Amino acid sequence: MRFMIIKLLTFLMLLSATVYADDAAPVEAPQKASTHKEETYKTQPFSDMIGGFLTSTGINALVNPNPNEMNAHGEAMSDFHKGWGRVIMILITFLLFYLAIVKGFEPLLLLPIGFGGLLANIPVANMAGPDGFLGIIYHMGLANQLFPILIFMGVGAMTDFGPLLSNPKTAFLGGAAQFGIFGTLVGAVALAEYTTLFDFTLQQASAISIIGGADGPTSIFIATQLAPELLGAIAVASYSYMAMVPIIQPPIMKALTTDAERRIRMSTMRHVSRLEKLVFPIMVLVLAILVLPDSTPLIGAFMFGNFLKESGVVDRLSDTMQNALINIVTIFLGLAVGSKLASDQFLVADTLAILALGIVAFSAGTAAGVIMAKIMNLFPGSKVNPLIGSAGVSAVPMAARVSNKVGMEYDRTNMLLMHAMGPNVAGVIGSAVAAGVLISIFK
């Protein structure tokens, strides 16, 4: 009997376990995640695969543009900009490579800008779009003014105010070169007012006029505040003319000077003490804060870099600003500016008009500096070689090197480089001040 009871209990236990397993199975099943994925690719004939590959090539995108293709801003593009426009811009970037490598025209600027332009005109890839390689760099530091301020910091660390402090009257040459900025502002407003060729507002004309100072960072700084819609065109124009200083300036300099004036030897500069070099950047910054606060982001960064250099106690920081920092920022800045060489943004009326006004502004600034030097020579005192007046534009140190090079063409023993650095440095400060004035008036 006992054995029969044990068998009965065992049977009942097995039966209950089976029923429990059947009830629990539906509950456990949904907890298991499925790893199965439907295959979306459908097999196709080899000829169709080859056809699909050919349709995805850049050649096909240039010859048979996609009617639904958008530019970097999500706007529709014309067939010209999708096809021949891109071909034209790619050829222009090759020209920039030639000028940088063969002619040696500011390769630090032209090579990154040219390569950025080449990448921006590659069809299909959309590298200049918001999520593209170039678009990310552009919004990372160009659209928010970061790159221009970092560039000013590095330039400040590379600048020696000694030539300006030893011969303060050369500051008038840097001031005179700003005539190109304000003269172009008046000219742009007059063209918009009395002709149908241009339709620039006061803010846009102000941003365009800064190109006359040949100062790329300052042009970007003011454009982001007064005319962000023209930022790309203004950045391209200003940096293009900075790189073209060796081409644009010499004919103007020679046309406005005589052979005798080009041979003028300037007196030896006095020694500038370390205390003077330490006090000067602080004094300039304090004046900017008191009189023109809108200019202090640029002037503050410029004077900060210079003050660290002249302090002599933070060589590591100064060396980083002069080399690693400015080199890294120059790479990113050049690529970001080059991204605006896309055909749909460059080959348009507004950009071409800005380029035309920019060359007028830059030429006027160069001429004004040379003429101011000639006027200064009418008064008693040591003579100034008018060639250094062209260095009043703030393309540092390119404009100073051009002044020295042209002077040595007429007298190989007449070194003008350090003398030209005086107006060149004054031009950097002058363009930042001019930008501050325009921002304070028209913002």
pLDDT greater than 80 at residue 362: yes
For position 19, what pLDDT does the model report?
A: 44
CA angle at residue 442 from 226 to 291, to 5 degrees? Answer: 110
Q: And the tokens for 187?
A: 């000219």
Residue among 340, 395, 348 nearest 212 (CA): 395
Give tens-digit pLDDT for 220-275: 899 888 988 888 788 888 887 888 888 889 999 999 999 999 999 988 778 899 99
Residue among 337, 347, 354 nearest 115 (CA): 337
Distance CA 300, CA 288 (A): 9
pLDDT greater than 70 at residue 378: yes
For position 343, what pLDDT does the model report?
A: 87
Q: DSSP string covering 3-49, please?
A: HHHHHHHHHHHHHHHHHHHHHHHHHHGGGSPP-----------HHHH
Residue among 409, 373, 169 nearest 257 (CA): 373
For position 32, what pLDDT does the model report?
A: 52
For position 6, what pLDDT does the model report?
A: 54
For position 31, what pLDDT does the model report?
A: 52
Q: DSSP string covering 311-338, please?
A: HSS-HHHHHHIIIIIHHHHHHHHHHHHH
Q: DSSP string covering 41-87, please?
A: -----HHHHHHHHHHTSHHHHHHS--TT-B-TTS-B--HHHHTHHHH
pLDDT greater than 50 at residue 400: yes
Q: Which residues of 376-391 are buried (b: 16+ CB within 10 A; e: fewer)?
A: bbeeeeeebbbbbbbb
pLDDT grade for 39, boundaries at 50, 70 and 90? low
pLDDT cut 90: percent of the chain above it: 40
**Neighbour tally for 227: CB within 10 Å:** 22
> Who contacts 435 (Cβ-Cβ below 8 Å, separation ≥6)?
210, 218, 221, 222, 294, 295, 298
For position 25, what pLDDT does the model report?
A: 47
pLDDT greater than 80 at residue 22: no
Helices first, then strands: H and E counts in the chain: 24, 0
Q: And the tokens for 37?
A: 């994925």
pLDDT greater than 90 at residue 374: yes
> Who contacts 433 (Cβ-Cβ below 8 Å, separation ≥6)?
288, 292, 295, 299
> Who contacts 90 (Cβ-Cβ below 8 Å, separation ≥6)?
118, 121
Give tens-digit pLDDT for 151-210: 999 999 999 999 999 989 989 999 888 888 888 888 788 878 887 777 888 898 888 888
Distance CA 349, CA 368 (A): 28
pLDDT cut 70: percent of the chain above it: 90
For position 236, what pLDDT does the model report?
A: 82
Distance CA 372, CA 390 (A): 10
Give tens-digit pLDDT for 60-84: 777 777 777 777 767 778 888 888 8
For position 20, what pLDDT does the model report?
A: 44
The answer to whether 265 touches 258, Cβ cutoff 8 Å, is: no
For position 443, what pLDDT does the model report?
A: 79
